[in-house]
Structure 1
Amino acid sequence: MLNRRLFSATAASALFLAGLMTAPAFAQTAVKLTLDWRFEGPAAGFLLAQDKGYFAEEGLDVTIDTGNGSVEAIPRVATGAYQFGFGDINSLIKFLDEDPAQPVKAIMMVYDKPVFSIVGRKSLGITDDPQSLEGKKLGAPPPDGAFAQWQAFIPAAGIDASTITIENIGFPVREPMLASGDVDGVFGFAFSVILNLIANGVPEDDISTILFADHGLNLYGNTILVNEAFAEENPEAVKGFLRALAKGFADAVADPAAGAAAVLARNETLNLETETARLTMANEMNIKTPYVIENGFGGVDEARLAASLETLKLSMGLKGAVTAADVFDAQYLPPAEERMLP
């Protein structure tokens, strides 16, 4: 009887200790993040932050969902359906200009140089010169962040838009329609459209890219969004979220192949080489810019952001009540030394 009792006590103690070892050290805050698009190479920074446990280290249990364009992420965050989002800061400016009471702000810049572009085919008459768009038919997915800046790009590039036909198309048919010649060019993010065209059989030397930022439209691009009500109630969670992302994006810059592998773990239909190239292109064109190299990832130049507001007033008909401080809140960012990219 004594041995049985001793065994029972010992077993109970072992189970108790095992429970202590397996229980989480602290309760995690569950949050949801909506991306701008599906899982592709440029999403690697988010996915590495999750896979490497950076979110967990900050006490966060993060669910990452795909999106349907960098404009649609904004209302998802504003309504509180998602605490965090990844969307176009210029569309956010327009959104807040229409209703300044909306509880959504940008808190970390990702695309220091926006990836807005029109991608065409040289064989269809579109070159790297914006004037080559005149007289052409362009395919435009309505929720696309690049198309959202079309009215701003027209005066910046000096285009006669009256000669251009815009056809509304869906994202799934965008590259196939350009590959088949049903349109002469399409709006989109350069790193997505170019590689998708190649996958659709278009020769690389037939592809032309007009990057808006290279032709007078000095705007910012996609940014991390936060629901303001959530941020005010959970400031440490927001700071932890950004610390984790800074590490995840640094890892994606240091090892694009590992970043692409994290993407393929969510979407096995993709090609590792293609997504590595897509991520490398985004890193070089949009993320690791000269400003970021000098000042760190995630921040903004307030004068540049203010100037972009003036540009958008003229091109998008803003009412003008929104200021840079209304749009971007830097208080949650880690110190600059923790945001340097390799």
Structure 2
Amino acid sequence: MIIVATQQLGGFLGRTFLQAGLAIAVSVGMAAATPAAAQTKIKLMLNWKYQGPQGMFFLADDRGYFKAEGLDVTFDQGNGSGAAVPLVANGSYDMGFGDINALIELAAKKPEDAPIAVHVMFNQPPFTIAVKSESPIKTPKDLEGRILGGAANDGALKLFPAFCKIAKIDCSTVKMTTMQPNLREQMLMSGQVEGVFGYVNTILFSAKLMGVKDEQLRFINFGDYGMDLYSNAIIVSQKMVKDNPKAIAGFLRALNKGLVDSLKDPDASVASVVKREPLLNTPIERARFDATLRSEMNHPEIKRIGLGNVDMERLKKSIDILVDANSLPRTPAVSEIFTPAFLPPADDLPKTLF
């Protein structure tokens, strides 16, 4: 049984009441797509350094879709998929492209502060522990007594306690070290750590840039052990939901157009990223883009609900997994974690990626 403290319950009820009222108000305000006379500034933190899969954001920007909605959007590079959640919560950013599981944990502990997800782009669990293929680590049980590392805000690292419980391994025997994101693959291949946390494609393609071949790596994927979790989503602050719901709806309309364009012309999408970071390797980033579509965004459910939306029952199961595995103080309602109220019409959401 989960006991909700009085203070937590108060925050939860206030948050739920706010969302219930907004569901009605937003449905009216979203009907018109006419941009405001003045540009509304939005500051958004991305999940990681500039990479090919972020092209839909920049293509939407380059083609004027945000401007047409009356928005002036600034994108900052991220430091891990978990980093955006507290920074949106404390007001440093209006929006973030961050891990919905980190949001669930915050909502369970501090519902009055937690942002809410409005568009889930990564609908398959990319969380992994990468090891060298020559390593004796082949199963989760083999991780016991080993040295693992990751960036402090990495989504997979933050989910490791839950993974340990579900995979029935003793986390206390694992020695953990944190590192700068750009050192992760180097430290793995040099033997400074025996495994690293991250997203499969992020690690795979960053390693390629070092000359590491695919067959030199092996992955222990969380999703293979019952953690069928959603991943990165557009999250927004409670303040923005309250003060400017029209800007959220406009942002998602523009982003969806950029996403649709990216699916039609992946080269243009990747070029928009390279335009902002000329030192990127274009062929690698294009391959990373394609791999992300296949393994992180292409859950079969999108044929039914569209890319950006979620299966509410699946999200509920995800919440339950995290609450149980991490012994969180309360179970957030699905409506605290995600709302479809700001999404474009269902017929406009991509139903297939290829």
Instruction: Look up the equivalent residue of 1:279 and give its one-letter code.
Output: F
Instruction: Choose from 229, 252, 272 the match for 1:262.
Output: 272
Cα–Cα, structure 1 residues 303 and 182, in superposed 2: closer, same or farther, change >3 Å?
Answer: same
SS in 2 for 1:123: coil
Q: Report deviation, 1:162.
A: 4.5
Matched, 1:338 2:341: no
The match for 2:235 is 225
* Distance in structure 1 (CA, Å) of the matches to 2:123 and 2:155: 15
* Distance in structure 2 (CA, Å) of the matches to 1:78 and 1:135: 36
Q: For residues 318-337 of structure 1, what are the structure 2 equivalents within 5 Å? A: 318-337=328-347
Does the aligned pair in 2 maintain the 1:97–1:320 contact within 8 Å? yes
Does the aligned pair in 2 maintain the 1:135–1:163 contact within 8 Å? yes
Instruction: Choose from 316, 321, 326 the match for 1:316.
Output: 326
The match for 2:3 is none
Matched, 1:112 2:123: yes
The match for 1:277 is 287
The match for 2:84 is 73
The match for 1:93 is 104
Instruction: Choose from 44, 58, 64 the match for 1:53.
Output: 64
| CA deviation string 1:277-334 (max 9, x = no partner) | 1111111111122111332011111111111111111111111142111111111111
Q: Report deviation, 1:135.
A: 4.0
Q: Report deviation, 1:136.
A: 2.8
Q: Report deviation, 1:60.
A: 0.9
The match for 1:122 is 133
Q: Report deviation, 1:156.
A: 2.1
Matched, 1:295 2:311: no
Q: For residues 195-214 of structure 1, what are the structure 2 equivalents within 5 Å? A: 195-214=205-224
* Distance in structure 2 (CA, Å) of the matches to 1:47 and 1:87: 17
The match for 1:6 is none
The match for 2:262 is 252
The ranges of structure 1 where at least 4 consecutive aligned residues each deviate by more than 6 angstroms after the TM superposition are none
Does the aligned pair in 2 maintain the 1:117–1:187 contact within 8 Å? yes
* Distance in structure 2 (CA, Å) of the matches to 1:131 and 1:255: 43
* Distance in structure 1 (CA, Å) of the matches to 2:272 and 2:115: 29
Q: For residues 156-195 of structure 1, what are the structure 2 equivalents within 5 Å? A: 156-195=166-205
Q: Percent identity?
A: 39
Does the aligned pair in 1 maintain the 2:47–2:80 contact within 8 Å? yes
Cα–Cα, structure 1 residues 92 and 103, in superposed 2: closer, same or farther, change >3 Å?
Answer: closer
| CA deviation string 1:240-262 (max 9, x = no partner) | 10111112222223332222111
| CA deviation string 1:86-144 (max 9, x = no partner) | 111111111121111115111110111121111111112234x4334344321122211
* Distance in structure 2 (CA, Å) of the matches to 1:65 and 1:162: 35
Cα–Cα, structure 1 residues 182 and 32, in superposed 2: closer, same or farther, change >3 Å?
Answer: same
| CA deviation string 1:197-223 (max 9, x = no partner) | 122232221111222112211111011
Does the aligned pair in 1 maintain the 2:248–2:342 contact within 8 Å? yes
* Distance in structure 2 (CA, Å) of the matches to 1:257 and 1:135: 44
- Scaled by the length of structure 1, the TM-score of the pair is 0.88
Q: Report deviation, 1:193.
A: 0.7
Cα–Cα, structure 1 residues 211 and 257, in superposed 2: closer, same or farther, change >3 Å?
Answer: farther
* Distance in structure 1 (CA, Å) of the matches to 2:55 and 2:246: 24
CA RMSD in angstroms comes to 1.8
Instruction: Choose from 208, 218, 234 the match for 2:244.
Output: 234
- Scaled by the length of structure 2, the TM-score of the pair is 0.85
The match for 2:159 is 149
The match for 1:38 is 49
Instruction: Could you tell me which runs of 5 or more consecutive residues in structure 2 were left unpaired when the two chains were aligned.
Output: 1-34
Instruction: Could you tell me which runs of 5 or more consecutive residues in structure 1 were left unpaired when the two chains were aligned.
Output: 1-23
Cα–Cα, structure 1 residues 322 and 261, in superposed 2: closer, same or farther, change >3 Å?
Answer: same
The match for 2:317 is 307
- How many residues are paired up? 318
